[in-house]
């Protein structure tokens, strides 16, 4: 930060004050301007190495360029300030890199490339490095949730729909669902193609290879991608933005998956519900209220889940990129994608901490299940009584009992036991009091929940990316 | 539309007036309320057939349900009006279907299912049927663009970046790029999993199978999905919304791919540029101006590309679905997804007509290439002159010549020929006038464009969905 | 709907099946294709009347045009189908209207206008008519909430932050806040300028007035706006889209305001919280579970609040309208704005019904306040004990007591009473047991809640639109 | 940046590398983390001053707090890192500020406030300070465009619709339209209410005022707002987010207004069109292509216009804020609003430079007008010939002539002159050759363009904010 008045710069810049959770996270390190600068330099160095390997430039130039291509040698803020002239930071960076390697090698820096080649390749490098961090945290989330789901495979709790108790479910099934969703996101994120970009001024690679060797240009492309540690592109994708848009979609899916987890944690942790506890990574204090334990991690994940879909919409819309380089659509991708990577990477780290510190409170689950005094299994009672009383009568009897219990404050079970139609069944030996008691036990109406948990936990993350993280 | 005053209903409803291109399209037929109603009924019938196959309900009930499950037997507007009571159209539909099958079979309608099971399955059926239509049109687009790219593999035109001429490219490469992007979208859309949904009131399948047979519930799930003609789900996905969000992303990607094609058509067809002509499917008239031939299809595609990313953002955000059925997030998916399907299906049909009627105008491309009098290959001149003059001198000479030509209105070629440094090279036999002429020919600076076209055209659509369309 | 095969059309069209709440609503009637068609015809008739008033066309033509301009005389679906040729429905409509008025008057139909003049004016007419409906429902919401806030001005309940009990508040203050937000939205919506549009082919009004009378063209503009019942524009706004974007923003604000109301209703109505009851307009049943009473209205409002911001983003982005009529940005407005009007109009009607049927359950509020056994007023205890014990000691004592109560299951009040520091204060006459009891009463720590309610209820809706609704 | 390893921090943080135009701008200085920190401290100091003024805390404490409340005294990065524990930066900041003022005054720091009070007030302060900068630049834009519109009040150019020449217009009218749109945005932005926030833990102000003085709490609120230099709120707006959403909408409107300007600049500056030139603030170079002059400012403005609508949609959606402080919706506002302020402030500064350096090229406008050889005034010819030939014949004659001219490459004027129907008119003295020439002159068919320019330029910015910027 040598180029600007320090006080003014401190006032101007983003140090993470508005990004709790991101500040200090691993994804922040991989996506900051310094990381971006290094990725830009890595792209230039990879190009030089690939060109040297094909005999297009001298090997000595490559050595000089690789040696110089270290972010700490450059004035980051100065580059940022200079970027406004040409509209991107590569133009001043190429000048600075040429100066750094000296007159002898300057001509071999950025040879035949256009700014977008370097910018796009750097973006994919940053994305790849952020993805490594993010996938590791998603794997932590999935592992912690697998343990929790197995532990509570058979713990009954209220299933809730449209905010109301519906029928019983198990905490294990809920957690297995969270994990399944996280794996969906993980697999989609891991499956995104992150290609290097090389095309020259308008995507014909004209300045990159002698005209009579155009047919062998793919060798250069493949070598460049390999040197950069990225996928090889089918075509220059200057204005074919599938990689960015697809990544944006995968990040939005991940934000949504983590957001579902957070949303349920926020509901279950409400003061009145209290069905979960957070040992760590979740409970933050309040300066004003000593008793409060705020679900901070879930809150910050929920915040990310509100923002990433809008960022992804910018990326999808930026596919509409006219000509061989659009005037605006490309530029709109940069901070939108970086912000999406940061938000999702932060949310994944927060979610891993949250998941690893999450406990169920089965006693609260049981207490809440009992709140409705059996009404939560009314669906079951309908099913059991229909064959005995007929559909209409069964429903009428149950509705009346439910209503009576609600109005008179007596127990639903008791009210039911005093209903003439029920008594007639008992007298007729078609029904016993024990049947009624059993039907009214929420733990006896869990359907295939346990089997669904088992089935779900047998799913493994796709091995996905075999390429080792750099 | 029997339930409402006809005049008022006509006033109220959407007949396609605001949707030019969609009105009368095939995707409209597959996504309208009638199609949705049929899909809801198909879902109920598939459930009954699956239950009968497993011996859970009588075969005769299945026959009655399948026979009754025809959209034309139901009062569509009446169902729409009744849907507000419970918040979805399945509740009144189940009542109407029970009435239609008669008291004998009524109990076997919707047995054990919840509204969302039917709604989600119907949504996937509508999506599947709309996708078939859409993929066919995307295949038409890709085929037409493949022909056009091959035809113009070597047709030079100006490459444009940030609205300015950059270096030459070919129309073939531009078109091959459009096709590549369309194939990306096609493959992603074709690859989306569209699963049936069955879970019961809270996703435990409790009312769908006797408690002691819970382990065999997957047989029912698999059979139900097969009867519906959809993928079998891993888990009930009531609140695990990957299928909807992923489809939304694929639709946004498709809108973006078609939008890129349209954006270029709009630029190239500008009055001053005039490099393409539209034989059909593109040129609409104006009532006021007899001379006008508006690029209507490209305009309507561009309109869709502006809307679908926002719709996709709603779908991604709706993944944050609390509990076992959320109060709002699920409901927000319905019209957002349907509208995205319609917009993309319409755009694909318009794009197919546009692509099949598109012609290049190579003479206009050549004329535009000549506009800058050789400046468009200044990059090449830099490359050729650098070894002869040194980097700095080469650039200085070219900049001066370009500036002089611009100011004095003389030819860049001529100005260059009068430059002392160039003359010295010619005198020294390091350069000939013919070299200069050749270097200034845009058609001689196309890089690997032709090879990129060949490579790109060798890509085929993924065979993708083997399951035949229903 | 005469132009298409009826069965196919039924399958294709939107009758409201996916829009519970909208189907049958008043806003649906004002925004349907029939209403839009009438608005298009109203715009044509207003133009003719204005032109006749200035002597530009014969009065007889105006009479014929006004008489013919009735939506029921036109084939709506046929117009929709024809709209694809030119990309908008005005082109075929002008043809049909000319046919309807006969050869004698045909030349005076749409004289000098362009399609966009009529389309934009019709859009503003539809917006105006939908706004009237919507404002009336917002006024109902505000009135019902005012009554509820006054009734519960002093009813204590738990204030909740980040899902946890924070400090007490009152239900009256919460409701007054809802109303305040609704009034904000109402005032902004009422304040939107909805101008007529007239500019001709490129906004110069060239064909609308003889060249030598150009200076008097504003008379025509003003008269046209008056005839249409809309505001007069400053300039033709073909590509100056403030009216549409501003309206989109006001609709998003309204959706957000109603969404906040719904969000709180959904929380307060949760089974475990139960602090409100819905007499009407809110509670929908379930076919599977006889006991359920779903918060349907709040759910559907929440759904709208998730969709309208994305629609508004499309409208804001469509301001970037190149040239004198953009190729896509204008077209993207039509269904986005109409859908936003419908969603907000529906939400307002649902919210009015919800608000008018909403009851508080003070006994549940009291029970929930008591849940934390006094911890909810820990902030107050800090404030009261700090002067007596010093800041650090006060906080330490309270934290320890809170923790002890939590772990040992004894009462916080009792634990506090057994704390040495507290006993010392009591022994020293600095504190009485009664002080402690009083401080622990949530109803005694309501701050300025009552005053805030009074202040808020004194705010009236801005009289806003003096122009009477048509 | 003392708290973290410097190299790692450099890698992690945002110094503006991805934000050309923003880096070094005035709005960056007003919105950076340092500016935010100062605003947080200003809010704390304003609260203390207001409390002292009402005798609630000692005056000496206020002096100490105001003196300590200087951003440079605090470890910004350290605060950012600590913010994750409680989920916002105010919690650690209050601790640091208490330490800074010493034990004597610590109890009077943040007295009775909650984190959100300080965070929201700081956000409004940052917004106010960024707005001042932004309005000044919008005023520069409007002033430059006023000059340009006046200068080219009568300069004819092609009006273009759907990318095609339509009828002539003037550059003055186009520029006047840009200005009008910018004024719309300016007025809306200037009109936003930016209130201070004070409510305490749940918005009742309970800890801020002794219970028996609750009725006078508004005095504190008003004084606090005045001390902060912000509007006084009607109610605590913790969860009544009109100020943030309305500001988001105004920023999206501004981005759209500037985006329209940029979009037209990008079209008019295309190589083939060339109707404008950029003296400064617009034309950036390319490292590869010496001849290029890229429209950098317009490109960066266009990029902002693609992003701000999505950010605004996040803000509108965040109005759905449950309870007395939502878990996520509030947090999602912070960076979305800050980014919107930065994007718009940057775009306004770029637009001011662009507008001040913009020149028309009337000779290119004339040349392009001539491209269609008179077809651009075909609307006029229809109007002139209709009375002479009848509607149908007039249109047929013109269409035939246009088609013939297009196919045979002869002049439209000449073709027209050889048409029998036209010759008959000339022979019959109903028409002269001079009439034809005059009608075919684009400069003679400008409608009310000049009057519209005059009318539009008479509009002044609303005086709006009388409160002087701090």
Q: Does A256 touch chain D (CB under 8 A)?
A: no
DSSP for A229-267 reads TSBPPSS--TT--HHHHHHHHHHHHHHHHHHHHHHHHHH
Worst-scoring range by mean pLDDT, A101-115, A431-445, B269-283? B269-283
- Please write the tens of the pLDDT for every residue from A284-342: 555 555 556 789 999 999 999 999 999 999 999 999 999 999 999 999 999 999 999 99
- Please write the tens of the pLDDT for every residue from C293-329: 789 999 999 999 999 999 999 999 999 999 999 999 9
Calculate the alpha carbon distances from D290 to B381, B392, D79 in Å. Answer: 10, 12, 47
The neighbours of chain C, by the rule of 3 or more Cβ pairs under 8 Å, are A, B, D
Q: Using CB atoms, which residue from B201, B240, B255 is nearest to A159?
A: B201
pLDDT of residue A17: 95
pLDDT of residue A354: 96
**Residue C292 pLDDT class (50, 70, 90 cuts):** low
Q: Does B71 touch chain C (CB under 8 A)?
A: yes
CA B351 to chain centre: 10
Specify whether the CB–CB gap between D271 and D335 falls below 8 A: no
Worst-scoring range by mean pLDDT, B41-45, B47-51, B451-455, D408-412? D408-412
**Residue D6 pLDDT class (50, 70, 90 cuts):** low
Specify whether the CB–CB gap between B340 and B311 falls below 8 A: yes
CA B309 to chain centre: 11
Nearest-Cα distance to chain B for C73, in Å, is 12
pLDDT of residue D285: 54
Specify whether the CB–CB gap between D23 and A80 falls below 8 A: yes
Mean pLDDT computed over D227-248: 97
pLDDT of residue C214: 81
Q: Does A162 touch chain C (CB under 8 A)?
A: yes
Question: Is pLDDT of C51 > 70?
Answer: yes
Is the Cβ pair D77, A286 closer than 8 Å?
A: no
User: In 10 A of CB C262, how many CB atoms?
Assistant: 30
- Using a CB-CB cut-off of 8 Å, the residues of chain D touching C91 are none
pLDDT of residue B13: 85
User: In 10 A of CB C441, how many CB atoms?
Assistant: 14
Nearest-Cα distance to chain C for B23, in Å, is 5
**C132 bridge partner residues:** none
Task: For residue B34, give both structure tokens.
Answer: 């009638």
Calculate the alpha carbon distances from A232 to A216, C331, D58 in Å. Answer: 15, 39, 69
| Closest among A271, B379, B295 to D163, alpha carbons compared | B295
- Using a CB-CB cut-off of 8 Å, the residues of chain A touching B218 are 451, 455
- CB burial of D394-405 (b: ≥16 within 10 Å; e: otherwise) equals bbebbeebbebb
The neighbours of chain D, by the rule of 3 or more Cβ pairs under 8 Å, are A, B, C
Q: Using CB atoms, which residue from D271, D290, D313 is nearest to B165?
A: D271
- Please write the tens of the pLDDT for every residue from C362-416: 999 999 999 988 889 988 998 889 889 988 888 888 888 887 876 776 788 888 8
**Residue C283 pLDDT class (50, 70, 90 cuts):** low
Specify whether the CB–CB gap between C86 and B284 falls below 8 A: yes
| Selected catalytic residue, list D3, D84, D216, D286 | D286
Query: What is d(CA C211, CA C199) in angstroms, rounded to the nearest whole number?
Result: 14
Calculate the alpha carbon distances from D388 to C106, D220, D384 in Å. Answer: 16, 78, 7
Specify whether the CB–CB gap between C28 and B83 falls below 8 A: no
Q: Can you tell me whether residue B88 is helix, strand or coil?
A: coil
- Using a CB-CB cut-off of 8 Å, the residues of chain C touching B1 are 10, 15
Specify whether the CB–CB gap between D428 and D422 falls below 8 A: no
| Closest among B290, B291, C43, C198 to D447, alpha carbons compared | C198
Is the Cβ pair D85, A285 closer than 8 Å?
A: yes
Is the Cβ pair D320, C256 closer than 8 Å?
A: yes
- Using a CB-CB cut-off of 8 Å, the residues of chain B touching A166 are 201-202, 324-325
| Closest among C306, A21, C20, A346 to B241, alpha carbons compared | C306
Task: For residue B342, give both structure tokens.
Answer: 């319609």
- Please write the tens of the pLDDT for every residue from A449-462: 999 999 999 998 87
Q: Using CB atoms, which residue from B158, B269, B382 is nearest to D290?
A: B382
ipTM: 0.95
**Residue D466 pLDDT class (50, 70, 90 cuts):** very low
pLDDT of residue A4: 45
Is the Cβ pair B331, C303 closer than 8 Å?
A: yes
Question: Is pLDDT of A3 > 70?
Answer: no
Interface of D with A in 21-50 (CB under 8 A): 21, 23-24, 28-29, 31-38
- Using a CB-CB cut-off of 8 Å, the residues of chain A touching D11 are 29, 32-35, 38, 71
Q: Does B246 touch chain A (CB under 8 A)?
A: yes
Specify whether the CB–CB gap between B342 and C314 falls below 8 A: no
Query: What is d(CA B337, CA B119) in angstroms, rounded to the nearest whole number?
Result: 13
Is the Cβ pair D285, A16 closer than 8 Å?
A: no
Task: For residue A233, give both structure tokens.
Answer: 């592109």
Q: Which residue of C has its CA nearest to A293?
A: C164
- Using a CB-CB cut-off of 8 Å, the residues of chain B touching C310 are 310-311, 313-314, 336
Task: For residue B48, give both structure tokens.
Answer: 């009954």
* % of chain B surpassing 70 pLDDT: 93
Radius of gyration over every alpha carbon of chain C, rounded to an integer in angstroms: 30
User: In 10 A of CB A14, how many CB atoms?
Assistant: 26
- Please write the tens of the pLDDT for every residue from A143-182: 999 999 999 999 999 999 999 999 999 999 999 999 999 9
Task: For residue D255, give both structure tokens.
Answer: 């981005």
Q: Which helix (H) or strand (E) holds C156?
A: strand C156-161
SS3 content of chain D, % helix, strand, coil (to 5): 65, 5, 30
Beta strands in B61-194 (DSSP E): 156-161, 164-170
Task: For residue A200, give both structure tokens.
Answer: 């020259």
Quick one: DSSP state of residue C165? E
pLDDT of residue A7: 56
Number of H helices, E strands in chain C: 20, 6
**Residue D403 pLDDT class (50, 70, 90 cuts):** confident
Quick one: CA dihedral A214, A218, A220, A221, positive or negative?
positive
Question: Is pLDDT of A358 > 90?
Answer: yes
What count of CB pairs under 8 Å joins C to D?
337
Is the Cβ pair C260, D249 closer than 8 Å?
A: no
Task: For residue A97, give both structure tokens.
Answer: 């890199």
Task: For residue D5, give both structure tokens.
Answer: 């390893």
Task: For residue D411, give both structure tokens.
Answer: 């002049």
Is the Cβ pair A291, C395 closer than 8 Å?
A: no
The neighbours of chain B, by the rule of 3 or more Cβ pairs under 8 Å, are A, C, D
Is the Cβ pair B378, D269 closer than 8 Å?
A: no
Residue pointed to by tokens 């659009």: A326
* % of chain B surpassing 90 pLDDT: 79
Please provide the distance, in angstroms rounded to a whole number, between the alpha carbons at the two ends of chain B: 27
**Residue C257 pLDDT class (50, 70, 90 cuts):** very high
Question: Is pLDDT of D281 > 70?
Answer: no
Mean pLDDT computed over C328-347: 98
Q: Can you tell me whether residue D81 is helix, strand or coil?
A: helix
Is the Cβ pair D447, C266 closer than 8 Å?
A: no
Q: Can you tell me whether residue B168 is helix, strand or coil?
A: strand
Specify whether the CB–CB gap between C147 and C223 falls below 8 A: no
Query: What is d(CA B233, CA A158) in angstroms, rounded to the nearest whole number?
Result: 23
- Please write the tens of the pLDDT for every residue from B315-340: 999 999 999 999 999 999 999 999 99
Specify whether the CB–CB gap between C312 and C251 falls below 8 A: yes
pLDDT of residue B374: 87
pLDDT of residue D290: 55
Question: Is pLDDT of D17 > 60?
Answer: yes
Residue pointed to by tokens 């610590």: D106
| Selected catalytic residue, list C286, C313, C399, C411 | C286
Beta strands in C336-420 (DSSP E): 358-360
Quick one: DSSP state of residue A157? E
Is the Cβ pair B452, A204 closer than 8 Å?
A: yes
Query: What is d(CA C47, CA C109) in angstroms, rounded to the nearest whole number?
Result: 9
- Please, what is the average pLDDT of chain D? 92
Question: Is pLDDT of A467 > 70?
Answer: no
- Please, what is the average pLDDT of chain A? 92
Q: Using CB atoms, which residue from C174, C215, C317 is nearest to D309?
A: C317
Quick one: DSSP state of residue C195? B
Q: Does C240 touch chain D (CB under 8 A)?
A: yes
- Please write the tens of the pLDDT for every residue from B386-396: 889 988 888 88
Task: For residue C315, give both structure tokens.
Answer: 């409208």
| Selected catalytic residue, list B186, B325, B338, B342 | B325
Give me the domains of chain B, ranges plus CATH numbers.
116-366 (1.20.200.10), 372-443 (1.10.40.30)
* % of chain C surpassing 90 pLDDT: 79
User: In 10 A of CB C392, how many CB atoms?
Assistant: 10
Mean pLDDT computed over A63-83: 96
Angle D171-191/D242-268 helices, nearest 10 degrees?
A: 160
Q: Catalytic: C336?
A: no
Quick one: DSSP state of residue A168? E
DSSP for C66-101 reads HHH--GGGS-HHHHHHHHHHHTSTHHHHHHHHHHHH
Q: Does B242 touch chain C (CB under 8 A)?
A: no
Q: Catalytic: A286?
A: yes
pLDDT of residue B292: 65
pLDDT of residue C4: 46
B203: left (phi over 0), alpha (psi -120 to 50) or beta: left
**Residue B9 pLDDT class (50, 70, 90 cuts):** low
Quick one: CA dihedral B317, B323, B325, B328, positive or negative?
negative
Quick one: DSSP state of residue D468? P
pLDDT of residue D467: 46
Q: Using CB atoms, which residue from D215, D316, D327 is nearest to C312?
A: D316
Beta strands in B124-242 (DSSP E): 156-161, 164-170
Specify whether the CB–CB gap between B89 and B122 falls below 8 A: no
Worst-scoring range by mean pLDDT, A14-18, A64-68, B139-143? A14-18
Enter the pTM of the model.
0.96
User: In 10 A of CB B419, how many CB atoms?
Assistant: 15
Nearest-Cα distance to chain C for A86, in Å, is 23
Q: Can you tell me whether residue D433 is helix, strand or coil?
A: helix
Task: For residue C331, give both structure tokens.
Answer: 């077209």
Is the Cβ pair A107, B173 closer than 8 Å?
A: no
Q: Using CB atoms, which residue from A8, A18, A87 is nearest to D296?
A: A87
What count of CB pairs under 8 Å joins A to C?
112
Q: Which residue of A has its CA nearest to C405?
A: A291
Specify whether the CB–CB gap between C237 and C60 falls below 8 A: no
**Residue C9 pLDDT class (50, 70, 90 cuts):** low
Q: Does B163 touch chain A (CB under 8 A)?
A: yes
Q: Does B297 touch chain D (CB under 8 A)?
A: no
Q: Using CB atoms, which residue from B10, B36, B287 is nearest to C76?
A: B10
The neighbours of chain A, by the rule of 3 or more Cβ pairs under 8 Å, are B, C, D
Residue pointed to by tokens 């109060």: B327
**Residue B283 pLDDT class (50, 70, 90 cuts):** low
CA dihedral of B173, B177, B178, B179, whole degrees rounded to 10: 100
Please tell me the number of Cα atoms within 13 Å of B292 on its side-chain side.
Answer: 27
Interface of C with A in 276-295 (CB under 8 A): 286, 288-295
Nearest-Cα distance to chain C for D106, in Å, is 9
Q: Is D189 exposed, middle or buried (0-12, 13-18, 19+ CB in 10 A)?
A: buried
Interstrand relation of D294-295 and D283-284 (parallel, antiparallel or unpaired)? antiparallel
**Residue C109 pLDDT class (50, 70, 90 cuts):** very high
């Amino acid at each position: 930060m040598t180029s600007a008045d320090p006080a003014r710069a401190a006032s101007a810049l983003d140090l993470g004050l508005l990004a709790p959770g991101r500040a200090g996270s691993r994804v922040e390190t991989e996506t900051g301007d310094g990381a971006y600068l290094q990725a830009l330099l890595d792209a230039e160095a990879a190009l030089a190495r690939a060109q040297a390997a094909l005999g297009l430039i001298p090997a000595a130039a490559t050595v000089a360029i690789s040696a110089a291509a270290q972010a700490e040698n450059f004035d980051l803020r100065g580059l940022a300030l200079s970027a406004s002239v040409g509209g991107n930071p590569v133009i001043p960076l190429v000048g600075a890199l040429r100066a750094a390697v000296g007159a002898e090698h300057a001509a071999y820096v950025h040879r035949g490339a256009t700014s977008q080649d370097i910018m796009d390749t750097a973006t994919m490098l940053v994305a790849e490095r952020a993805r490594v961090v993010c996938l590791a945290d998603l794997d932590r989330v999935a592992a912690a949730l697998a343990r929790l789901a197995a532990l509570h495979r058979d713990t009954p709790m209220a299933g809730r729909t449209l905010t109301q108790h519906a029928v019983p479910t198990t905490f294990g099934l809920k957690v297995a669902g969270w994990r399944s969703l996280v794996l969906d996101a993980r697999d989609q994120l891991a499956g995104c193609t992150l290609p290097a970009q090389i095309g020259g001024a308008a995507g014909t690679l004209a300045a990159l290879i002698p005209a009579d060797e155009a047919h062998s240009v793919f060798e250069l492309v493949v070598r460049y991608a390999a040197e950069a540690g990225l996928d090889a592109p089918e075509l220059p994708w200057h204005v074919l933005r599938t990689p960015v848009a697809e990544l944006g979609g995968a990040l939005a899916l991940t934000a949504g998956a983590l957001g579902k987890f957070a949303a349920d944690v926020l509901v279950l942790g409400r003061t009145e519900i209290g069905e979960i506890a957070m040992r760590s990574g979740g409970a933050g204090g309040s300066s004003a209220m000593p008793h409060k334990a705020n679900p901070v991690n879930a809150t910050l994940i929920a915040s990310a889940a509100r923002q990433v879909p809008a960022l992804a919409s910018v990326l999808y819309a930026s596919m509409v990129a006219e000509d061989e380089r659009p005037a605006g659509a490309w530029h709109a991708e940069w901070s939108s994608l970086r912000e999406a990577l940061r938000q999702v990477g932060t949310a994944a780290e927060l979610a891993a901490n949250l998941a690893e510190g999450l406990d169920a409170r089965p006693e609260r689950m049981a207490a809440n299940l009992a709140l409705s005094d059996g009404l939560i299994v009314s669906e079951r009672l309908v099913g059991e009584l229909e064959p005995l009383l007929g559909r209409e009568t069964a429903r009428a009897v149950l509705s009346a009992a439910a209503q009576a219990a609600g109005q008179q404050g007596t127990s639903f079970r008791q009210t039911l036991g005093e209903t003439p139609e029920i008594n007639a069944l008992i007298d007729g030996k078609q029904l016993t009091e024990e049947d009624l008691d059993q039907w009214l036990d929420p733990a006896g109406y869990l359907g295939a929940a346990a089997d669904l948990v088992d089935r779900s936990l047998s799913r493994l993350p796709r091995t996905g990316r075999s390429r080792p993280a750099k």
